[in-house]
Structure 1
Amino acid sequence: MKLHTLLQTIPFISLPIENPEIKSIVNDHRNAKPGCMFVCVKGHVVDGHQFAQEAELRGAAAILAEETLDVNIPVIQVQDSKRIMAVIADAFYDRPTHKLHMIGITGTNGKTTTSHLIDKIFRDVGRTTGLIGTIHMKVADHVIETKNTTPDSIMLQSVFQQMVQAEIDTSIMEVSSHALVQGRVNGCDYDVAVFTNLSQDHLDYHQTMEEYQRAKGLLFSRLGNKYQSDKPKFAVLNKDDKATEQFLNDTAAHIITYGIDHPADFGAKDIVLDGSGTTFTLISPGAEQKVSLKLIGKFNVYNVLAAIATAYVSNIPLDSIIQSIETVAGVSGRFESVDGGQEFPIIVDYAHTPDSLENVLKTINQFAEKRIFAIVGCGGDRDKTKRPLMANIACKYATNPIFTSDNPRSEDPLAILKDMEQGVKGKDYQIIPNRSEAINHAIQSAKAGDVVLVAGKGHETYQIIGKQVFDFDDRLVALEALKGR
């Protein structure tokens, strides 16, 4: 695409005399190559403007920047390069989200499980899907690894274009609060926006719960302000969460609700769960019917209701939805069982917020016969205020809480553990800083009737200590510990 054609998407921009062919867009100078447009972004740690000359040496044909630069290629100067980057990426990749059925899911907990449930429902009825989330990105059956829940706008639009080229029908994506505030999903034309729940997380970034909630609300306000019969917009909202009151006002889209404790379009009653699954009666528009899940826990009933409502507004028959949901065995790192032939359950879960940890431990308490070993840590360089809260929850719901390291990153692991201890003064717990040793201790101590929970990292296959990334998978460490019994 010619530079002038690309710049037509930006109002009141001054066109440079040169009009080179733009072959790609990058915001990392290390990825610059002949014919690319390099976007200078001011990050929290690194300022991309410092690398403009290196991008030129690597063959960049033009640069988008907020400052005057000493280079010999066209520089398009704008006030906010990150915002304009999203506009340009959308145009360069030919507005791919307008050609997809776009489903965005936001909330503190449950995004990954809900997205995978929706993905399975759609695939089971023959719809082709793409998936973007915490675990990975997927275009049909092709998996792409990702570092963030929601990638930046350039990568996003590139992946959406791949989906269009692969004749994908529906894109299902987790949308983080960071992505919404930072404009990574600007330009995405969502058809269905889903809210799971809101509880404390990311206050190191958002500072207050009010700001965190406001960030989540951006997804619903971006559904647009017009009504169209050929492509209607829906907001799928959790009626049992107070944040829904704000989101109802944030959007002009059609509203569909789900919940357990309050009347909703999709609800659940007569919930029964045990160590092997969950049953409930689904209340849906004009019908009630029994649902039997292999998934465990009330929190998973919420995830299932969100998925059912989303599929329903996407014109999938309710019978097909339920048939698909009932076959789901689980999602990687979400209440995932580790089976090494032992006589007690070992559960690995991504629970890394107070609310998610409480939900998991409450569920375990409903089927645990004897002791509950809960291995809990908190990530470094993240919200410190949730550390004592998580420790307190572990002590409240587990008979044998063990505090250990998660991903300490640049922080001292012992300092993180001291923060956790502030919430459990006078209570019984163990501290085993080495995560592998903590898991091994719990598994060697457990007996028939006990339950071992390894919380915090879930699907992750690494541990970040300082600036180093080590191979570490809670599930594999647990299996190795079982060999020593």
Structure 2
Amino acid sequence: MTWSAVERRARTVPDGPVTRSGGDDGLLLRGLVTDSRRVVPGCLFACVRGAASDGHRWAGAAARAGAAALLADRPVDLALPTLSVPSVRARLGPLGALLAGDPADALDLVGVTGSNGKTTTSTLVGGVLEAGGTCTGVVGTLGARVGIRTRRTPLTTPEAPELHELLRWMVDAGARRAVVEASSIALDMGRIDGLRFGVAVFTGFEEDHLDHHGTIEHYWASKARLFERDRSAAAVVVVDDPWGRRLAEQAPVPVTRVGTSEDADVRVLGWRTGAAGTEVLLGDDTGGHRVSSPLVGRVHVTNLAAAWATGRALGVPADAIAAGLAATTPPRGRNTVLGGSGRPVVVVDYAHTPRALAAAVATARDLCGPGGRLHLVLGARGRRDRYKRQGLGESARAADVVWLTNEGSHGEDPAAIIGELRIGLLGGGAAVRTVPDRRAAIHAAVRAAGPADVVLVVGRGHETRLLDTTDPRDAVHLDDAEVATTALIVEHGPPTRAPAGEDELAS
């Protein structure tokens, strides 16, 4: 892309003057980069101000690595063509799109946001759209994929230049639709700027990420940005909590309401769930529909309903939606069920907020056999949302035995984190054990569990790296599902009988 084209796109952001210094109109730029370690010859290096580092300090390193020009919002003493702007971050989306060839123009986009359920709902919507006959990419917490191709991503929603590069990769692979998880932090920091979504999906809301947002209203406002008229054409909103109802009432775009209430456009009429999966009875303006999924747990009922509503909003036939939901493999670390067949059941889940934990505990309780007990392996992430810890302890009271452990202290004192969780458990009836080593805690819980029991391991889900310092290089490999699988074999041996059937229909 030419230097003059970059300048023209930069001027479309209405926040003040743009000044270009150096460089011919025809200077060719190859990509937009925000990390000096990823610079390739001929790229435009964006000097982004971050929480821990200022990209302007790394402009020299970028120049030495071959950057052809700079995007800056303060003076940089380098002999490189420079575009000086009021805010570098505000232009990452528009310029990232331009330098990737505006891939979103070739895609119908779906955005998914919410405190819990984004990854599962994004996966389900991707499956529905594929079943409808359209090659569909998905970008989110578990990485990016299109067809059988996958790429790792460091963030739920990548920085804007990386996100547009992924969309280009998807278009080149044949995708015509894409589903993007939109985190509140990404919305707050402009990572999805330059994108417009055909449908935006809201899965629910509770306090989270207040270490970044400061207040729950700021957190809410960040989520609500996805539903502004210039970002989305239509919305699918789960209205089973007050925040969802508020969004459905305030959104300036057409809204499909999803939930259990009588005024829902897509209404959950009944459901059942067990180790074999979940079945949901839905009602909409075309009548009743029964859908099945291998996903386990009541928490996924509204995720399935939201995916159904999104498919209908995008014109996918009902039978294709049902087929897509039935065929979609559960995302890793979202109520992943292990064991059974004469051994305890182990459930590995990402639940890391009080309400998500309460839902995970309820799901695990549903899977207990007659007289079975629920063992919960619980920790809390260091340097993140400290205010949630007592709430997690309160939700944990519903278990029979709680095994308090480390979840990655990130430089905090692990014993202090465990102490805060323990405060929330005060007054409850659960027996509490403290095993700081996470691997040992999972083994101890599995060892103590009987054939009718369930061991619920929460907090990390799909994650495979555990960090106890502030240096990412110190992270060690620890996959909760791997540890649990090993513990089942060591403590209880291989399976000996078939798994139990599904539970009764709930409504």
* C-alpha distance in 1 between matches for 2:391 and 2:349: 18
| Alignment partner, residue 498 of structure 2 | none
| Residue 472 (structure 1) aligned to one of 478, 483, 498 | 478
Question: Offset of 1:341 from its aligned partner?
Answer: 5.2
Residue 17 to residue 164, structure 1, CA distance change in 2 (3 Å): same
| Alignment partner, residue 425 of structure 1 | 426
In structure 2, runs of 5+ residues without a counterpart are 12-16, 492-507
1:372 and 2:383 correspond? no
| Alignment partner, residue 279 of structure 1 | 279
Question: Offset of 1:249 from its aligned partner?
Answer: 5.2
Question: Offset of 1:250 from its aligned partner?
Answer: 4.9
| Residue 383 (structure 2) aligned to one of 381, 384, 391 | 381
1:16 and 2:17 correspond? no
| Residue 100 (structure 1) aligned to one of 84, 102, 107 | 107
Map 1:190-205 to 2 at 5 A: 190-205=197-212
Q: Deviations over 1:230-280 (max 9, x none)?
A: xxx210011212223442355332211110134211111132333433333
Percent same amino acid among aligned pairs?
32
Task: Report the 3-state secondary structure (helix = DSSP H, G, I; strand = E; otherwise coil) of the residue aligned with 2:363.
Answer: helix
**Counterpart contact for 1:191–1:223, Cα < 8 Å:** no
* C-alpha distance in 1 between matches for 2:38 and 2:276: 48
**Counterpart contact for 2:373–2:400, Cα < 8 Å:** yes
* C-alpha distance in 1 between matches for 2:208 and 2:289: 35
Q: Deviations over 1:425-480 (max 9, x none)?
A: 35431111110011000111111211111111111112112121111111111122
Residue 16 to residue 298, structure 1, CA distance change in 2 (3 Å): same
TM-score by length of 2: 0.90
**Counterpart contact for 1:239–1:262, Cα < 8 Å:** no
| Alignment partner, residue 288 of structure 2 | 288
Task: Report the 3-state secondary structure (helix = DSSP H, G, I; strand = E; otherwise coil) of the residue aligned with 2:242.
Answer: coil
**Counterpart contact for 1:223–1:252, Cα < 8 Å:** no
| Alignment partner, residue 61 of structure 2 | 54
Residue 30 to residue 327, structure 1, CA distance change in 2 (3 Å): closer
* C-alpha distance in 2 between matches for 1:17 and 1:271: 64
Task: Report the 3-state secondary structure (helix = DSSP H, G, I; strand = E; otherwise coil) of the residue aligned with 1:91.
Answer: helix
- Residue type at the aligned position of 1:400: V
| Alignment partner, residue 87 of structure 2 | 80
Question: Offset of 1:198 from its aligned partner?
Answer: 0.1
| Alignment partner, residue 407 of structure 1 | 408
- Residue type at the aligned position of 2:168: Q
| Alignment partner, residue 458 of structure 1 | 461
* C-alpha distance in 2 between matches for 1:153 and 1:21: 20
* C-alpha distance in 2 between matches for 1:34 and 1:361: 52
| Alignment partner, residue 394 of structure 2 | 392
Question: Offset of 1:402 from its aligned partner?
Answer: 1.1
| Alignment partner, residue 305 of structure 1 | 305
| Alignment partner, residue 323 of structure 1 | 323
* C-alpha distance in 2 between matches for 1:312 and 1:216: 23
* C-alpha distance in 1 between matches for 2:463 and 2:231: 36
- Residue type at the aligned position of 1:411: E
* C-alpha distance in 1 between matches for 2:18 and 2:250: 31
TM-score by length of 1: 0.94
Residue 137 to residue 475, structure 1, CA distance change in 2 (3 Å): same
Residue 25 to residue 277, structure 1, CA distance change in 2 (3 Å): closer
**Counterpart contact for 1:150–1:176, Cα < 8 Å:** yes
* C-alpha distance in 1 between matches for 2:146 and 2:182: 17
**Counterpart contact for 1:7–1:88, Cα < 8 Å:** no
| Alignment partner, residue 230 of structure 1 | none
- Residue type at the aligned position of 1:96: P
| Alignment partner, residue 229 of structure 1 | none
* C-alpha distance in 1 between matches for 2:379 and 2:326: 33
Residue 76 to residue 419, structure 1, CA distance change in 2 (3 Å): same
* C-alpha distance in 1 between matches for 2:163 and 2:100: 10
* C-alpha distance in 2 between matches for 1:367 and 1:73: 63
Task: Report the 3-state secondary structure (helix = DSSP H, G, I; strand = E; otherwise coil) of the residue aligned with 2:467.
Answer: strand
Residue 279 to residue 65, structure 1, CA distance change in 2 (3 Å): same
**Counterpart contact for 1:221–1:250, Cα < 8 Å:** no
**Counterpart contact for 1:224–1:253, Cα < 8 Å:** no
Residue 331 to residue 33, structure 1, CA distance change in 2 (3 Å): closer
| Alignment partner, residue 443 of structure 1 | 446
Residue 54 to residue 379, structure 1, CA distance change in 2 (3 Å): same
Residue 64 to residue 474, structure 1, CA distance change in 2 (3 Å): same
* C-alpha distance in 1 between matches for 2:280 and 2:30: 53
**Counterpart contact for 1:200–1:355, Cα < 8 Å:** no
**Counterpart contact for 1:274–1:296, Cα < 8 Å:** yes
Question: Offset of 1:420 from its aligned partner?
Answer: 1.1
Aligned residues between the structures: 477
Task: Report the 3-state secondary structure (helix = DSSP H, G, I; strand = E; otherwise coil) of the residue aligned with 1:157.
Answer: helix
In structure 1, runs of 5+ residues without a counterpart are 226-232
- Residue type at the aligned position of 2:18: I
* C-alpha distance in 1 between matches for 2:54 and 2:291: 53
Task: Report the 3-state secondary structure (helix = DSSP H, G, I; strand = E; otherwise coil) of the residue aligned with 2:270.
Answer: strand
- Residue type at the aligned position of 1:458: G
Question: Offset of 1:56 from its aligned partner?
Answer: 1.4
- Residue type at the aligned position of 1:442: A
* C-alpha distance in 2 between matches for 1:148 and 1:475: 21
- Residue type at the aligned position of 2:20: L
Residue 432 to residue 7, structure 1, CA distance change in 2 (3 Å): same
Q: Which protein, 1 or 2, shows the higher relative CO under an 8 Å CA cutoff with sep ≥ 6?
A: 2
**Counterpart contact for 1:391–1:403, Cα < 8 Å:** no
